[in-house]
Amino acid sequence: MFGAFRASSISQGGLLWKARMKMNLSPTQKANIRKRLKAADDVVMKIQESGVQCNALTKLQAEPTEAQMPPKDKYTVFTRNFKGYRKSVHKVPHFTKVPVPRTAPAGF
């Protein structure tokens, strides 16, 4: 077919990279990340206040809270494969549903 509606690889394929390549997150994305971290901190605090004790809770208590985390740890995660060993948290698949580590390995 010719003209404006001809088939081409661009018109048939769609957007190839759906995540932005920039490391910068928008202020709304950052606010949502902080909100999720605070909500997780509240859950840990309430479980701790209830008197329940388990190994998972002990490990979570050792992690820093949202207020104690530097911005580098809030908005990026350690990855061996990226330049500088850090990638933006929005590049992690399902980062809103899986626990993102709050600390990087020692030395990074």
List pLDDT tens digits, range 12-33: 666 556 556 666 888 999 999 9
Whole-model pTM: value is: 0.74
- Between CA 2 and CA 42 the distance in angstroms is 60
Lowest mean pLDDT among 8-17, 31-40, 50-59: 8-17
d(CA 88, CA 69): 15
Residue at 40: amino acid letter: A
Q: For residues 108 and 2, which has the higher predicted lDDT (pLDDT)?
A: 108
Q: What is the mean pLDDT of the chain?
A: 84
Angle at 98 between CA 96 and CA 103, to 5 degrees: 100
CB atoms within 10 A of CB 77: 19
Q: Does 91 score more than 80 pLDDT?
A: yes
Q: What is the pLDDT of residue 16?
A: 58
